[in-house]
Amino acid sequence: MHPLFKDISSLPTERINPATVDIDVLPTREIVDLLHAEDARVIPAVGAELDHIAAAVDLIVAGFQGGGRLVYVGAGTSGRLGVVDASECPPTFGTPPEMVQGIIAGGSEAMFRSQEGVEDSREAGAAALDEISVSSADVVCGIAASGRTPFVLGALAHARELECKTIFLSTSTRENIRGRGVAVDVLICPQVGPEPIAGSTRMKSGTAQKLVLNMLTTASMVRIGKTYHNVMVDLQLSNGKLEARARRTVMEVCGVEYSEADRALTDCGGHVKTAIVSLIAGVDCAEARARLRRADGHVRAALRDSHADQTSDKQGNHRKREGGA
What are the CA-CA distances from residue 157 to residues 58, 127, 310 (Å)? 21, 11, 54
Could you tell me if 46 and 191 are in contact, meaning their C-beta atoms sit under 8 angstroms apart?
A: no
CA distance 95 to 79: 21
C-alpha torsion sign, points 146, 151, 154, 158 = negative
Could you tell me if 104 and 75 are in contact, meaning their C-beta atoms sit under 8 angstroms apart?
A: yes
Tell me if residue 88 is catalytic.
yes
Beta-carbon neighbour count of residue 121 at 10 Å?
A: 15
CA distance 181 to 317: 58
Tell me if residue 119 is catalytic.
yes
CA distance 288 to 11: 54
CA distance 265 to 275: 5
The one catalytic residue among 14, 38, 49, 119: 119
What are the CA-CA distances from residue 13 to residues 20, 120, 190 (Å)? 14, 18, 12
The one catalytic residue among 14, 88, 243, 260: 88
Considering only CA atoms, which of 155, 3, 178 is closest in space to residue 82?
A: 155
Q: Which residues form the catalytic set? A: 88, 119
